[in-house]
Every structure is written in structure tokens, then in C-alpha cells.
A and B are shown apart, each in its own frame.
Chain A
Amino acid sequence: MQNLSCFFIFFLLTNRLSAQTTLQGRILDGRGRALPGANVFIKGSYDGANADSSGAFRFQTGRRDTATLVVTYVGFDNYAQKLILTGSPMDLKVTMTESANELNTVVITAGAFEASDSKRMTMLKAMDIVNIAGAAADITSAINFMPGAQRVGEQAGLFVRGGSNLEAKVIIDGLIVQNPFFSSLPDIQQRGRFNPFQFKGTSFSTGGYSAQYGQALSSVLLLNTTDKGSQDGVSLSMNLASTGVTYDNATEKSSVSATAYYGDLRPLFALVKQNVEWQKAPSYGGGSLTYRYQPTKNGMIKAYGMYSDSRLSMIFRDPGQASPANELGRTLLNQNNRNLFINSTYTDSWDEGKWSLNTGFSYSHDTDDMMMGQYDFSRLNQRTQVRAVLTRALPGNSQLLFGTEFHSIKLGNTVFGNRYTLTDQYAATFAELQLYASRKLAIQLGVRGEYTSIIDRFNVAPRLSMAYKTGSYSQVSLGAGQFYQTPDYNYLFLNQSLHYERADHLILNYQIIKNKRTFRFETFYKNYAQLVRELPNPGDVSGFDRNTGPDNPYRFPTGVTNNAGKGYAQGFDVFWRDEKSIKGFDYWVTYSYVDTKRLFRNYTMLATPTFVSNHNLSLITRRYFEKIRTNLSLTYAYTSGRPYYNPNRPEGEFLTDRTPQVHNVSLSANYITRFKGNFVVLYASVDNVLNTRNVFTYRYTADRNGGPRKTRYAVGPTTYRSFFVGGLIMLGKKAKVDLNKL
């Protein structure tokens, strides 16, 4: 009996002791390297240990039967394994998978040049764009220094890879901007209307862009506005052109920012010699209101409205108006432009980000009351649009999105006092799938369908993008697709049976970002089809309009038009940035090459268009001098010669003349200080430091008898060497510091 009870006790004791299972092993990554300090434990119990420096661990657990072993390590996905614990020791080898991060996951980039603070694989930060000397804090001017952009000094807009300014659209928060630039004036490059500090990210697409956007044969400039602000206070700004005041207020859920400004360029024109004959220097006034509201955790309402009114009067040369009494064709131009722009978006996501919705509404109304000589050339531009995009996140970083947009457009154009109007309804739907076949390979497939009521036609366009990660810091990508665009409205006033113009793109890109150095190489081929061609008027001698050159901005085509035009564009660009080699010094170099020919508009044969320069080179340098708290930037821009129309040439030599090369060196500086406890920034810039007499194009004056002309005059910048100074002061107790506000 006693023996039995002893045995019983002994049995219980050994059972109790062997209730502890010893677990040991090693924690390794995918390449067999140890993960020191990994956390290894039994889920729901206190039993566990830290892996040592060789990844080895050992601990005991009192759990029996089933248990889950959990291993966690920073930068890796959590590991879980079901175990059957019987009391006998277990030897485990655990291999952990790295979490998706910048170094191991590819990002689709072909055809897009990004400047953003939060996205990965971007070339620049948002404020990098604004600090470029020569850009005068204007986003679109800054884009002219990016790879793929071509500088055209006397016209507003973006000219990308051989495309005209009508082929590049500016898009804010997904909505097309009807009038992103101030009203065009003959031979003057107008600024963009937007303050660059409104934007947190810029994506300059040089082609092959997503199915979410359309109606741009060459490129889209995607601008994303900032989210809720945090400033409180008032700031005053004053410079040689204008004065302005801004009021900011932020609460936990919302923020408001209101700006009012007034400008008059007379003081500036008195100090800086103008090449333009102003009768009345531009004066302008306006205001804007920005409102942000966060109704739910992930929801955001953004509303932006701006209004501006500007007046000016100038004398310009129009060879088309030349007469024996007025050989130079000097014409008086009076312009009063009023522009209203409202842009509002609502975004939200739910189910832990599985679904997200992006909706937007925008309204713009722009009128130009304009007289050229004694003729009325007024214009009206109105666009209302709505847009909605629904995105569904799929496992493994993939996503699927559907969207639709609807626009209503009204245009009015007065030519020599004759008024033309048209209305157009445009609708589009699109779908896009972004798939990560593996961490290293991503594919984006999209399709876009559009309908335009004024020409009563549909189109369907496929889009494709692929990217493959060649190493931790580098990747290659490909972009391809078809792009349709409704012909220029100037043609549609008289011919509403035209087809869409079309471009097919193919883009290949390689980039590497390592150790604060960036190298990017991109090559492209574009095929243009169905471009609008103007057939020669029966009365013309050579088939080419002798009175005006091919790119007079006020030309109103009156001849017969069709879609028989075509063309091609090919080339490459290179981008190199180095923030490391020289301490505190940041520089980048871009070189773009394009070879392109087109037969379109009133061209008589396939030729390189007048807005194309084959070579564009930019060098941008920046340095922050801490002791004097000053930021200095020096820029050099080179643009090779552009074709211009010479009526003295025989027909076979159409557009074979080239203007001389353009060189421009600019310098800018900004200085930060405090005045009576308020934050102050002072800035100054000099453009065209070397006072180079640049020529953008030539025009030929009229001959007394109306025959071929021999005398030409040069069209150049509105000023040669010029300078600009200004300052900003931020008042108010809670004014937060804005390091980069200039």
C-alpha cells in the first residue's frame, strides 16, 4: 500500500515536472541571416525569450497540447506557428519574411516625375520645386526645368516632349483646371495662377499616364493640395509687384485660410526696363479662401475658391495688321480678365482602408474683355465638372479602382467682332487594376472610355504600366497607352464632325536612388494620328497663310479642316541629382533630347514644330549658408534653337530655319530672421544675370506690295536682365514656423 502511494506521488511529481516543454531554435531571415533580439513567445502566456545575437533562443513553457508560437521582429511580418506540446523538447527553425518597404517593394513610375514629401521613390520634395532660381515661385515655370519639358519663352503653358501647350493639362486634386495660366497675351509667357504653397505634392507626367486622366495628348501635371493646416495668425507679404494679407485659423477638426492681394506693376516696370510697350502696366486684385474640415476619422472635405480681376493695356506687333501707314503692324490691346475658380473635394475611407472614395466638384468662369485695335476679341470660358473614384484595396498592396467624371463646357470667342459660341458635354469612365505579382514586379492595367457631345463621338483607350525592381535601390519601368483628345475648340466652332486626335506612347525608364544621389534615364516613342489639319484656302498662293506665321496665338482658322494630320516624337532624358558629394550643397542636372516632326494645323509638310527645341539642358544648384541664415540658388538653362517660319524660303524648305540658342543664368536668395518676435523672410532674385539678348522666334514684316518679306524682327523675353525683391512677415501669437515660405 505504501509502495503504491509512493509510486503514485512519484508519478504525479514526474508528470508535473515534465509538464514543462523546452523550446529552442534559431530565428533567421529569408537569406539565412540571424535576427538578434527577436521576440519569441507562446501566444497568451508569459513564457518566452529574446533571441540572442546569433538568433538563438531557448525557453520553457508550461503549456500543453496546442499552442501558438509567435515571433516578432522590427521590419518583418509577424510569424505564427501552431505547435503540439507533448513535453519532449522541440527544436524549431523559424524563417521570417521582411515587411514591404522602400527597399524591397517596387513602385510604378514610368513617365512620371514626382515631387512629394510622403510618397516613395520621388526625385524631389514638394518645396524643392519652389526654391529654384528662375522659377519665380511659379510651379509651371519650375516644371520647365524638369526632364521632358521644353522651354518656350514667349508662350504660356507646358510643352512636353514635342507636344504643344494644348496637349498638356493641369489637374488639381483630380479635376482639370480650365484656365491654369493668366490670360494669354501675344508673345508673353504668362504665370500660373496658383500659389505653389497650396500643394503638398506634384506629379509631372511626361506621358503614359494613368487611365484616371485623359484629354491630354502629351502630359498631365497633377497637383495635390495640402491637408488640414495648423497655422494661426496673420501674415503680410509685400514685393515689387503686389501686397497681400493672409489670415489663418485652425481648430482640431478644421482650418480656414483667407487671402486678399492687390498688385500693380508700375513700380517694377519703372525699375526694370521692359521690351514690351506697355500703355497701362498690369494691375490686378483678388482673393482666395481655403477651407478644410475633417468630419470623421478618415474623411476630409476640402474647398477652395479664388477670384481675380486684372487689367492691362499694351501695344504689340501683329504682322497681320500691317498696312502702308503702319508698317510694323502696331496694334493697341486692352484686356480686362475676370476669373472665378472653385474646387472642392470629399474623400473618405472605411473598413480599415479597404474601401476609399474620392469625389470632387469644380466650377470655373473666366472672361476676357479684350479689344485689339478697334476689333472686339473677347472670350468666355466656363467649365463645371464632377468626378467620383472608388478604390478597393486588394491583398498584397494591390488595388482596383473605378471612376467616372462629367463636364459641362461653354465657350465664347469673338473674332474681329464676330461672336462664336459652343457648348459641350463630356463624360468619361475608367477602371484600373494595380497588381503586385510579387514585391519586385508590379503591373498597372487600365482602360478609359470617353464621350464628347459636340463631335458626338466615343473613344476607348487602353493604358499599361509595369515596374520591376532590379535591386534594393533601383528599378526599371515601362509605360504605354493610347491617348485621345478633343480637337482645339477653335476648330470646333466651324467644324463639328472632326474626330478625336490620338497619340500612342511607349516609355522605358531606369532609375536608381542611393546614398542621397539620384540617377534617372527615360526614353520614349510617340506616334500621333488624326491630328487636325487645315486645308489651304483656294485664294492662297503657296497654300500657306502669308499674313501670319503658323503659331500666332490669335489666329482664327477659317478654312476647311479634317483629321489627316500625323506625326511622331522620340527621344530621351537624363536626370542626375547629388545632395551628398559637396557638404551642404545640393545640385541637379537635367538634359532632354527630342526628335519630332508633324503635319498638322496649317503646316504644308511634315516638319519640326516651331515650339520644339531639340536640346534642353538645366543645371540647378542650391546651398544653405547657416551662419548668415541664407538660402542661395543658382540656375543655368540652355535651350537649343527652334524652327521659325521664313516666307522667303521655297515651299520645300518649310520651317527649316533655326533661331539662335537661348542661355539664361538666374540667381535667387532668401534670408530668415525675426523682427520683434515675429518671423520674417526676405527674398531677392536676379533673372538673366548675364543680360543675354535671347531670341525666341522671328516674325517677318509686311512688304509694301504684300509680297514676300525680307525684314524680320526678333521676339524675345519681356525683359533682359531683371530683378525682384520682396518680404513676408508672420504676425500672431500662435503663428507656426514655416521654414520654406518665401
Chain B
Amino acid sequence: MKTLVISLIAALLGATIPVLAQSEQYKQAMAAAIGTTKTQSMTTSPADILASANQFERIASVETKEWLPHYYSGLAYVYLGFMGKDATEKDAYLDKADANLKAAEAVTNNDELATLKAYIAQARMVVDPMSRWQQYGPLFEAGIEKAMKLNPENPRPYVLKGSSLMYTPEQFGGGATNACPLLKTAKEKFATFKPASDMHPNWGQKQIEPMLEKCK
């Protein structure tokens, strides 16, 4: 009985002492949240993607020294920016994506954040291409270039540039002929790319598969 009491008290006390539990908690929370995103695609409902974005936002509010929660939240808002029902809603989602990107950039600067910046610019442009290409086109190109320069092995800039060209009309420099070399390069890089950890970004391979079909 005495040992039982002592072990019970120890267990109770132990449960309230936060020793390195934060980092474990962070890894677990991120693993859970990232796991959910792996099941998502462009056909997932906006409500589910918003739930993911919220999850990452909560993690970000605790782990102020980490850039990854802000990165994933920003990425989720980019998807929402493509899905929004009208221009006002799309721009509101992309405003949140911008805020998340800014918070991530305050922590660090790297190729994935440059790619995210280009992705946001692309989403902004798609809202109203005829009037926005002049403002956001250059931002998109600049982000892609910076990402490629910072890490030539990263396939994601090639994914974005290739898919953007695939949906640009041929006479404006797009079409399959111009997009395919970039998409093929992306596919090659996916084969050899090793993310820095389980939590680091590794999306894009599923995205380009349907487009690669057109490249045969």
C-alpha cells in the first residue's frame, strides 16, 4: 500500500512536471496534422482544409521559434485561395496565407518559403489573370528563381513552374511543349530528394502525375 501510494503520488506529480514534453508534444502534434494533410487533395472540402490550417495555426501559436507550422498553415490557405467561391473570399484566404508566410520568414529564410511565396503569387494571379498578371507574374518568377538558387535539388519550384506553364496558352509561351521538360525534371528530383526530417515538406509528386500523362 505504501509503495502504491508513493508510486501514485510520483506518477501524479510527474504528470504535472513539463520536462522536454514540449518538444515531444510538438512532434506528435505536427505528425498528426501532417498526416491529415497527406490524405488531402484539391477535391477535399474547404472545411476540412480549414480545419488543418487551424491545427497548424494553434501549433504555431505555441512554438514561436518554429517556421514549419506557419509554412503548412500558409500552404493550406493557398489551397483555400484556389477554392474560394468569389474573388473577395479568395483574396481573404490569401491574406491569411501572406500573414503566415510573413511570420515564417521572421524565423528563417529558405527555399521552401521562397516556393511558398511563389505559390501565393500564383494563386493571387489566378483570381483575376487579365489584370493581375503584371503585378504577380514577376513575383511568381522571382520566388521560383530564388528557390532554385537556394536549393537546386528541391523539386517543388519545378512543380509550380511546370504546372503554371501547362495551363498557359501555347502562344504565350506555355503549353505541354514548354511545361513537360520542367515536370520531368521535377519527377527526377523527387526520386533523389531527401527532406531534412519527417516534418519537412515533401508534397508535389501526386500533383504532377496527371500532367505527366500528357507528356508522353
**A and B physically associate:** yes
Distance from B27 Cβ to chain A, minimum over Cβ atoms (Å): 12
Q: Is B15 an interface residue, CB under 8 A from the partner?
A: yes
Supposing A103-B88, A672-B171, A739-B133 touch, asked if A37 and B58 sit within 8 A by C-beta, the answer is no
Q: Which residues of B contact A117 (CB under 8 A)?
A: 131-132, 134-135
Q: Please pick, from B12, B25, B77, B132, the residue contacting A46 in the complex, using a CB distance under 8 A.
A: B25
A16, A37, A127, A673 — most chain B CB neighbours (10 Å): A37
Using Cβ atoms and an 8 Å threshold, which residues of chain B touch A45? 62
In the complex, residue of chain A having the shortest beta-carbon distance to the beta carbon of B130: A739
Contact of A679 among B89, B141, B173 (CB under 8 A): B173
Given A2-B1, A117-B131, A230-B137, CB of A13 within 8 Å of CB of B12: yes
A232 to B: closest C-beta gap in Å = 10
- Tell me whether A323 is interfacial, beta carbon within 8 Å: no
Query: Contacts of A53 on B, CB cut-off 8 Å?
Result: 47
Looking at the complex, which one of A16, A36, A50, A70 makes contact with B16 (CB distance below 8 Å)?
Answer: A16
A residues in contact with B58, CB < 8 Å = 39, 41, 46, 48
Q: Flag if A118 contacts B135 (CB, 8 Å).
A: yes
B173's nearest neighbour on chain A, judged by CB, is A737
CA distance A739 to B172 in the complex (A): 8
Q: Which one of A39, A126, A252 lies within 8 Å of B57 (CB-CB)?
A: A39
Interface check B107, CB cutoff 8 A: no
Contacts of A48 in B (CB 8 A): 54, 58
A12 within 8 A of B: yes
- Contact assessment for A39 and B138 in the assembled complex, using a CB-CB cutoff below 8 Å: no
| Given A9-B9, A16-B12: A70 touches B61 (CB 8 Å cut-off) | yes
A520 to chain B, nearest CB (A): 19
Chain A residues with CB below 8 A from B199, complex form: none
Q: Check A44/B62 contact, CB under 8 A, given A13-B12, A125-B131, A230-B138.
A: yes
**B50 CB-CB contact with A under 8 Å:** yes
* Contact-residue bracket for chain B: 35 or more
Give the complex CA separation of A13 and B173 in angstroms: 70
Say yes or no for A5: interface residue by CB 8 A criterion. Answer: yes
Q: Assess whether B42 is interfacial by the CB under 8 Å rule.
A: no
| Nearest CB of B to A256, in Å | 15
Cα A44 to Cα B171 in complex, Å, equals 52
CB of A539 closer than 8 Å to a CB of B: no
What is the bound-complex CA distance between A53 and B134, given in angstroms? 39
CB nearest neighbor in B for A36: B47
Q: Which of A101, A228, A230, A679 has the most CB of B within 10 A?
A: A230
- State A620–B90 Cα separation when bound (angstroms): 31
Please name all residues of chain A whose beta carbon is closer than 8 Å to the beta carbon of B53 when the two chains form the complex: 39
Q: Determine if A101 and B88 form an interchain contact, defined as CB atoms under 8 angstroms apart.
A: yes
The answer for the CA separation of A605 and B114 in the assembled complex, in Å, is 70
Q: Which chain A residues lie closer than 8 Å to B51 at the CB level?
A: 37, 50
B184 within 8 A of A: no
A5 to B2, CA, bound (A): 9
Residue of B nearest to A226 (CB): B134
B69-111 interface bits toward A, Cβ cutoff 8 Å, 1 = contact, 0 = none: 0000000010010000000110011011000000000000000
- B138, A9: Cβ atoms under 8 Å? no
Question: Is the CB–CB distance between A736 and B12 below 8 Å?
Answer: no
B29 at interface by CB-CB < 8 Å = yes
> Is B159 on the interface with A (CB-CB < 8 A)?
no
> What 0/1 pattern do residues 167 to 187 of B give for CB contact below 8 A with A?
010111100000000000000
| Majority secondary structure, A binding face | loop
Residues of B within 8 A of A277 (CB): none
Q: Return the CB mask of A232-268 against B: 1 if under 8 Å, else 0.
A: 0000000000000000001010000000000000000
Interface residue A29 (Cβ < 8 Å from any Cβ of B): no
Residue pair B8, A37 in contact (C-beta under 8 Å): no
Count class of interface residues, chain A: 35 or more
CB distance from A358 to the nearest CB of B (A): 20
* Residue A74 at the chain B interface, CB threshold 8 Å: yes
A580 at the binding interface (Cβ < 8 Å)? no
Number of A-B contacts (CB under 8 A): 92
Q: Is the CB–CB distance between B61 and A44 below 8 Å?
A: yes
Known A-B contacts A43-B61, A45-B62; the reply to A101 vs B92 at CB < 8 A is yes
B125 CB → nearest A CB, Å: 12
Whether A39 pairs with B134 at a CB distance below 8 angstroms is no
Residues of B within 8 A of A36 (CB): 47
Interface string of A464-494 (1 = CB under 8 A from B): 0000000000000000000000000000000
Chain A residues whose C-beta falls within 8 Å of the C-beta of B130 in the assembled complex: 125, 739
CA distance A679 to B171 in the complex (A): 7
A30 interface residue per 8 A CB criterion: no
The residue in chain B whose Cβ has the minimal distance to the Cβ of A16 is: B12
**Given A46-B29, A70-B61, A102-B88, also A37-B132 (CB < 8 A):** no
**Does residue A82 face the partner (Cβ distance < 8 Å to B)?**
no
Given known pairs A45-B62, A50-B51, A118-B135, the reply for A75 and B92 (CB within 8 Å) is yes
Q: Which residue from chain B places its CB closest to the CB of A45 in the assembled complex?
A: B62
B64: nearest residue on chain A (CB-CB)? A44
Confirm or deny: A674 has a beta carbon within 8 angstroms of a beta carbon on chain B. Answer: yes
B197 to chain A, nearest CB (A): 20
A46-B54 contact given A9-B8, A125-B131, CB 8 Å threshold? no
Contacting residues, chain B, for A640 (C-beta < 8 A):
none
User: Does any Cβ of B come within 8 Å of A547's Cβ?
Assistant: no
Interface residues of B in 1-23 (CB under 8 A from A): 1, 5, 8-9, 12, 15-16
Other-chain residue from B1, B50, B61, B142 in contact with A37 (beta carbon distance below 8 A): B50
Interface hits, B29-71 → A, CB 8 Å: 29, 47, 50-51, 53-54, 57-59, 61-62
Q: Is the CB of B96 within 8 A of A679?
A: no
Q: Name A74's contact: one of B1, B5, B96, B172 (CB within 8 Å).
A: B96
Kindly state the separation between the CA atoms of A70 and B16 in the bound complex, as whole angstroms.
24
Q: Determine how close the nearest CB of chain B comes to the CB of A206; give it in whole angstroms.
A: 24
User: With contacts A117-B132, A117-B134 known, is A16 near B96, CB below 8 A?
Assistant: no
A37–B51 Cα gap in the complex (Å)?
A: 7
In Å, the complex CA distance between A45 and B25 comes to 11
**Interface residue A555 (Cβ < 8 Å from any Cβ of B):** no
Residues of B within 8 A of A736 (CB): 137-138, 141
11 A-B interface contacts by CB (under 8 A): A2-B1, A5-B5, A16-B12, A37-B50, A41-B61, A46-B25, A50-B51, A74-B77, A101-B92, A228-B138, A230-B141
16 extra A-B contacts, CB within 8 A, seeds A12-B12, A36-B47: A12-B9, A44-B62, A45-B62, A46-B25, A46-B59, A48-B54, A50-B50, A53-B47, A74-B93, A126-B131, A228-B138, A230-B142, A673-B171, A679-B172, A736-B141, A737-B172
Binding site for B on A (CB under 8 A): 2, 5, 9, 12-13, 16, 36-37, 39, 41, 43-46, 48, 50, 53, 70, 72, 74-75, 99, 101-103, 117-118, 125-127, 200, 226, 228, 230, 250, 252, 629, 672-674, 679, 736-737, 739
A-B complex: 8 closest residue pairs judged by Cβ atoms = A230-B138, A39-B54, A75-B92, A37-B50, A737-B172, A48-B58, A41-B58, A125-B131
